[in-house]
Amino acid sequence: MIARGGIDLGGTKIQTVVVNGRWRVLGQARRPTPTTGGPEDVAQQMAEAMREAAQAAGVKSHELAGVGVGSPGDVDERTGEVSKARNLPGWDGTFKLGPWLGKQLATAVRVGNDVQVATEAEFRLGAGRPYKSLVGVFWGTGVGGGLILDGKPWLGRGGAGEVGHMVVKKDGAPCPCGRRGCLEAYAGRAAMEAKARREHEEGRKTELFKIMKKHEHDRLTSGIWERALKAEDSLATELIDRAVAALGAGIASVINLLDVEAVIIGGGIGTRLGEPYAKRIVKAMHPHLFNDDNPPAVEVASLGDLGGAIGAAVQIKR
């Protein structure tokens, strides 16, 4: 039996899995991502979570055929170095994540970009299987994107897929990236939370922060947005409507440029709100589609919560 490891390194949590040759999950573990310290502290937690998943699967880490990592920041796939992972503590510079983990886990480690890895996983194992070309749109804290063109990942010069920073409204809302009018400025959870806080401070009534406190969170998670929508909170509804409209325009721009077969909607909010909201994104996209008699298929990512970690493991070839 060939077992592979996968690590999904997120801003909030580290998710690990061990999968067999048919990508079935044999063991998994989850740890919070450290919020203080530096890259080595994060890597330490990654190694321990990986060992924990291996133990749950009944193998040792050095018996794994390899471990794949999906990481935020600038990833050098050749060297396993990760730079500018700015939502991780003290990770403004470069850290040799691949080699460091390889030594700790005593197996081959491959590091890839988290969004690209998740896109490939959906393409090979998930909702993207019927298609040869697709765009993955990961609607979460930010809005990430990955491309598969003619069956192969398209990385450009290494920086492709920044769907979240396509301009949907010139001179528009401020984006966490420091620019203006990006898709993420309207649809990213971080940008939506910032706007909700501003409006709340200015006296706007909303259940969002009450639900947050009730669930003992300090930020607006996807689950909190979902609960507020169910409670028909007007601010939450308004901000999600605004996000859906921006996603519709941004995704239409992608389709007008690339005319791919399918759009896979993933990410924390995307998978949590699921099919009904994917349908609303389709409706918002349609008026902007140039070839509106030939729209792409739009599907919700199907690998769920473990998709990122399974996708990371897919990097380890047979």
- Binding residues for its own copies, rule: CB under 8 A, are 133, 145, 147, 149, 154-163, 165-172, 177, 179-182, 245-246, 249-250, 252-254, 256-261, 287-288, 290-291, 294
CB of 127 or CB of 135, closer to its own copies = 135
Q: To 10 degrees, the CA torsion angle through 251, 255, 260, 264? A: 10
Distances (CA, A) of 94 to 40, 76, 81: 11, 10, 7
Tokens of 162: 């920044």
Instruction: State the minimum distance, in angstroms, from the CB of residue 306 to its own copies.
Output: 27
Asked if 302 and 278 touch (Cβ cutoff 8 Å), the reply is no
181: left (phi over 0), alpha (psi -120 to 50) or beta: left
CB of 57 or CB of 254, closer to its own copies = 254
Instruction: State the minimum distance, in angstroms, from the CB of residue 61 to its own copies.
Output: 34
Instruction: State the minimum distance, in angstroms, from the CB of residue 41 to its own copies.
Output: 28
CB of 100 or CB of 131, closer to its own copies = 131
Q: CB 157: neighbour CB atoms within 10 A?
A: 5
CB of 25 or CB of 177, closer to its own copies = 177
Instruction: State the minimum distance, in angstroms, from the CB of residue 170 to its own copies.
Output: 5
CA–centroid distance for 19 within its chain: 20
Instruction: State the minimum distance, in angstroms, from the CB of residue 161 to its own copies.
Output: 7
CB of 237 or CB of 256, closer to its own copies = 256
Instruction: State the minimum distance, in angstroms, from the CB of residue 288 to its own copies.
Output: 5
Phi and psi at 265, nearest 5°, equal -95, 115
Beta-strand relationship, 134-139 and 74-76: unpaired
CB of 153 or CB of 274, closer to its own copies = 153
CB of 18 or CB of 192, closer to its own copies = 192
Instruction: State the minimum distance, in angstroms, from the CB of residue 195 to its own copies.
Output: 16
CB of 54 or CB of 166, closer to its own copies = 166
Tokens of 88: 């991780």
CA–centroid distance for 120 within its chain: 12
Instruction: State the minimum distance, in angstroms, from the CB of residue 82 to its own copies.
Output: 16
Asked if 50 and 67 touch (Cβ cutoff 8 Å), the reply is yes
Rg of the chain on CA atoms, in Å = 19
Residue 227 makes CB contacts below 8 A (sequence gap 6+) with 207, 211
Q: CB 196: neighbour CB atoms within 10 A?
A: 23
